[in-house]
Amino acid sequence: MKTKEQIHLPGGNSQLNYALENIDFIGKTILVIGAGSELAAKLFLNNGASKVELIVEDYDSLLNSKILLDDIESLNPKMMDFEITDFNKNTFDIVYAQASISGSKRNRIIKEIKRIIKNDGILIVGEIVKLEKLVPQFVQDMFGDSDLDPLFTDDIKNYYFQRGWDVQEIIDHSAILNEYYSTNLERLNKSLKELSDNEKSYYKKLINQISHQSKAYLRQGADRFIGFFTLKAFLNDR
């Protein structure tokens, strides 16, 4: 069942609704990876999952997740390194990650997911991707500023296959990125009106990063080089 609530991540509701419509969550144990994924964790629980874990990487994200999920007693977000979690082997039936593993640690995170997912477990992963093999320097700078290491679209299936995953489906949600970056810019402009001078100074690096990346995508042509793909894959080889 689709949701009308909005998840503010690359891929937006497209990836989340794909999962809700194509995965049976009833009785399953699920891991959700990444800040901003609180809605996904909540909806998986509402759709019959027996247990849902949500992990984030930093303290600010942890506090925010706890506030957003405060009314759901069975959801207790945890702070962990995605590549070295505290979970036991073969714990999860499903792992869901939306724009949270496309960085320089991807290889180690995928290795850790293989450790903690059950045999024949399902991975739903949203990846920031390169639409061209070679991208301009200003796009490469965007990736570097966000610690992103995007795969080229033609390489993504083979990347997961070489690491023991049977990729069942790849969906192109690149068109949704326009909405994501537009919303980022709108939220930033609204926040700037509300922040004090001291707060603007404190968050200067983040403010500049959001502004630069959003404008580069929306106005400078980065949309020709940056995409977003969702993969559904089964573990078939540890």
Whether the predicted pLDDT of 1 surpasses 70: no
What pLDDT does residue 227 have? 96
Cα 231 off chain centre by? 12
Helix 12-22 vs helix 38-46: crossing angle, to nearest 10: 20
Among the four given CATH numbers 3.40.50.150, 3.40.50.620, 3.20.20.80, 1.10.10.60, the one describing domain 12-134+146-175+222-235: 3.40.50.150
pLDDT tens per residue across span 67-116? 999 889 899 999 999 999 999 999 999 999 999 999 999 999 999 999 99
* Pairwise pLDDT comparison (9 vs 192), residue with the higher score: 9
* Residue that has been written with the tokens 């609204």 in this structure: 190
| Spans of all domains in the chain | 12-134+146-175+222-235, 178-219
What pTM did the predictor assign? 0.92
**Stretch 163-169: mean pLDDT:** 96
Closest CA to 225 of 146, 141, 169: 141
Residue environment code for 213-224, b if the CB has 16+ CB neighbours within 10 A, otherwise e: bbebbbeeebbe
Backbone angles phi, psi at 210, to 5 degrees: -60, -45
Listing DSSP states for the chain in one string gives ----S---STTHHHHHHHHHHH---TT-EEEEESTT-HHHHHHHHHTT-SEEEEEESSHHHHHHHHHHTTT-TT---EE-BTTB-SPPTT-EEEEEEESSS-BTTHHHHHHHHHHHEEEEEEEEEEEEEESSSS--HHHHHHHHHTTB-PEEGGGHHHHHHHTTEEEEEEEE-GGGHHHHHHHHHHHHHHHHHHS-HHHHHHTHHHHHHHHHHHHHHHHSSGGGTEEEEEEEEEE---
Answer yes or no: are the C-beta atoms of 13 and 7 closer than 8 Å: yes
pLDDT tens per residue across span 174-227? 999 999 999 988 888 888 888 888 877 887 877 888 888 888 888 999 999 999
Whether the predicted pLDDT of 236 surpasses 70: yes
Which has the minimum average pLDDT: 25-39, 67-81, 127-141, 206-220?
206-220
* Residue that has been written with the tokens 């039936």 in this structure: 93
* Pairwise pLDDT comparison (47 vs 210), residue with the higher score: 47
The C-alpha atoms of residue 177 and residue 71 are separated, in whole angstroms, by: 30
Answer yes or no: are the C-beta atoms of 28 and 50 closer than 8 Å: yes
Please give the structure tokens belonging to residue 234.
């089964």
